């Protein structure tokens, strides 16, 4: 017969909807908890049968005792006198087993409180294990979660089940800005499980985040026709992606970028304006280094495979392109190729380098000059910083159809860059 008590029914109602725990596991935990309390109260639970139905809040407990002569009862939990046994059924004999239902509530409120505490502890442990296992299997996957709290050192997000996820400051793109209640996307970076309390750590700076975004935007990558071989990334600023096609008819770079950058634009927005350079992978290390240094044109490369160090020789006007603003281009090229790269000016025999003959592509300034402004200048024939600075101001305004203030801002930015370049190049190796 099922035994019910209002307090115990409340206990079941509280725990039967426990998230992330399947029914079979829940039943097992409930039975184990009952047995644990019985063992604490009576010293053993071996002679008890516990049957639990969490869906209805029902449970049945039966105690099994052996029939002995009335004067031979030494343990009332394990033995029952013949006279008492025959009150249950008049045909019991000495040596037989008697099974009778037990009303758990008769053990008292202390037993019920102990049961609740035991259940809470075990189910919390199971929830933590289930949460850890769930996200341990999703490491490297992109998830979308709701921003719940924004702190100085991290952002707290909640998934669709209300689980807490952490996005540390170090894993945020520098220009990231979050508001409570807004959705945010990130990749599951790792799951810590200290003292049985799992912490799900997300990242938006991991190269894997960029890789998953590309897989979602480029069908050829998702289908396995194109593969991403390597990603080098400075979050929020620039990234280089090396891709390879397994179909000679498909251009991997063009497929990833899309018509007029259609496939890459959404990713750039997600990454807060991070510039993406896509290059074609090759197993030839010298050619890969040359491609990684684009938009610079390389003359020759001297590579030492053992030390993974190479000397790259370029025309003087290509050196700054190879280095990039703030050394970013050469830094990413080194990361992508896993090589230490030194660049050298290569002058024609008998010629002397003129001061200031190096140049920088306008595309290198996309993080400080609006892209549409750069596009207008390029359409008018100005593709590099020096070509703009050498052009008359009035011509820039009229031919590119730009406002005077816009042109003045562009000139100021480019002049400041060459002042910085002059200081930086003093520290670069010279041929």
The answer to the question of residue 92 being in a domain is yes
pLDDT digits (tens, 9 = 90+) for 258-296: 888 888 999 999 999 999 999 999 999 999 999 999 989
Q: Examine residue 319 and state whether it is found in any structural domain, yes or no.
A: no
Its pTM stands at 0.66
CATH number reported for the structural domain that contains residue 250 in this entry: 3.30.300.20
pLDDT at 158: 95
Last residue of a domain, one of 116, 133, 150: 133
Please tell me whether residues 129 and 201 are part of one structural domain: no
10-residue stretch averages of pLDDT, the chain, 431 residues long:
48 56 73 81 82 72 87 86 87 88 76 78 83 92 95 94 93 94 96 88 96 94 94 94 94 91 91 93 94 92 88 87 85 92 76 56 83 85 77 79 89 81 55 44
Same domain, 169 and 91: no
Residues 124 and 161 in one domain: no
Yes or no: say if 329 and 291 are a contact pair by the CB < 8 Å rule: no
Q: Which of 88, 112, 133 is the last residue of a domain?
A: 133
Considering the domain architecture, whether residues 51 and 109 belong to the same structural domain is answered as yes
Cα dist. 41→75, 109, 112, 121, 287 in Å? 14, 12, 11, 19, 77
- The total of structural domains in the chain comes to 4
- Could you tell me if residue 176 is inside a domain? yes
Domain of 408 in residue numbering reads as: 362-425
> Which residue in 410, 400, 297 sits closest to 346, CA to CA?
297
Q: Is 383 exposed, middle or buried (0-12, 13-18, 19+ CB in 10 A)?
A: middle
Same domain, 151 and 180: yes
Residue 337 placed within a domain: no
Q: Report helix, strand or coil for 73.
A: coil
pLDDT at 18: 56
Boundary residue ending a domain (103, 133, 163): 133
Residue 349: predicted pLDDT: 59
Helices 328-337, 316-323: axis angle to 10 degrees equals 70
Q: What is the domain-level CATH number for residue 148? A: 2.40.50.140
Q: What angle do CA 12, 15, 21 make, to 5 degrees?
A: 130
How far lies 171's CA from each of 134, 152, 168, 204, in Å? 21, 13, 5, 6
């Amino acid at each position: 017969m099922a035994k019910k008590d209002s307090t115990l029914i409340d206990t079941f109602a509280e725990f039967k909807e426990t998230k992330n725990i399947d029914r079979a596991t829940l039943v097992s935990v409930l039975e184990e908890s009952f047995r644990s309390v019985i063992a604490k109260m009576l010293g053993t639970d071996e002679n008890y049968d516990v049957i639990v139905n969490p869906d209805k809040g029902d449970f049945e407990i039966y105690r099994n005792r052996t029939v002995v002569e009335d004067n031979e009862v030494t343990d009332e939990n394990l033995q029952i006198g013949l006279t008492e046994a025959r009150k249950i059924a008049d045909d019991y004999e000495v040596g037989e087993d008697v099974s009778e239902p037990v009303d758990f509530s008769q053990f008292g409120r202390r037993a019920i409180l102990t049961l609740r505490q035991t259940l809470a502890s075990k189910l919390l442990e199971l929830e933590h294990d289930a949460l850890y296992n769930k996200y341990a299997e999703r490491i490297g996957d992109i998830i979308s979660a709701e921003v719940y709290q924004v702190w100085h050192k991290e952002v707290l997000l909640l998934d669709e089940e209300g689980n807490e996820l952490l996005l540390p400051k170090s894993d945020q793109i520098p220009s990231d800005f979050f508001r409570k209640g807004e959705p945010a996307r990130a990749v599951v970076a790792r799951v810590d499980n200290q003292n049985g309390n799992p912490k799900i750590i997300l990242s938006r700076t991991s190269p894997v985040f960029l890789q998953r975004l590309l897989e979602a935007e480029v069908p050829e990558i998702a289908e396995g026709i194109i593969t991403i071989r390597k990603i080098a990334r400075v979050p929020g600023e620039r990234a280089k992606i090396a891709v390879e096609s397994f179909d000679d008819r498909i251009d991997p770079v063009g497929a990833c970028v899309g018509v007029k950058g259609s496939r890459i634009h959404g990713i750039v927005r997600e990454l807060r304006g991070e510039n993406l350079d896509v290059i074609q992978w090759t197993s030839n290390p010298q050619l890969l280094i040359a491609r990684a240094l684009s938009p610079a044109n390389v003359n020759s490369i001297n590579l030492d495979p053992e030390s993974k160090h190479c000397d790259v020789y370029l025309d003087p006007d290509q050196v700054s392109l190879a280095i990039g603003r703030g050394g970013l281009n050469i830094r990413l090229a080194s990361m992508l190729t896993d090589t230490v790269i030194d660049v050298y000016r290569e002058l024609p025999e008998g010629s002397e380098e003129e001061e200031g003959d190096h140049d920088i592509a306008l595309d290198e300034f996309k993080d400080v000059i609006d892209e549409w402004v750069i596009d207008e200048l390029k359409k008018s024939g100005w593709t590099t910083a020096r070509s703009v600075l050498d052009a008359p101001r009035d011509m820039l305004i009229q031919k590119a159809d730009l406002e005077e203030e816009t042109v003045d801002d562009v000139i100021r930015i480019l002049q400041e860059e060459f002042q910085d370049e002059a200081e930086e190049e003093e520290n670069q190796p010279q041929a």
